[in-house]
Amino acid sequence: MEEITILRSDLLKLRILKYLFDKKDHTPSELSIILNTNGNTLLRNSKFLELLGLIEIDLKKTNGNYYFLKITSFGYEFYQKNKEAINKLIEK
């Protein structure tokens, strides 16, 4: 089988999923610091994960608009089943 080229954005999506595995709510700015990327890039990649049903993006309005990212039960099961393969890709 032909080897697939893994893009930086693919790796970022996997890293987002890995950090959300703790089942806590995280803000895009918090994760962008941890993952060394900017908040807009992180949010765009998170929206793709949300389309797949792996995470939820919750918008909370208080004094401003705040996004919170959280893994779904489907995302949790997906990551748990594929943790070893995902970690190998991330570490390359």
Structural domain boundaries in the chain: 8-91
Q: Number of C-alpha atoms within 13 angstroms, CB side, residue 84? A: 1
Encode pLDDT of 48-90 as tens digits.
999 999 999 998 876 677 889 999 999 999 999 999 999 999 9
User: What pTM, to 2 d.p., does this model score?
Assistant: 0.89
What is the Cα–Cα distance from 81 to 39, expressed in whole angstroms? Answer: 28
Counted residue by residue, the chain has a size of 92
Q: Look up the CATH number of domain 8-91.
A: 1.10.10.10
Residue 44 in this model has a pLDDT that exceeds 80: yes
What is the Cα–Cα distance from 5 to 41, expressed in whole angstroms? Answer: 20
SS in 3 state form for 59-76?
EEECCCEEEEEEECHHHH
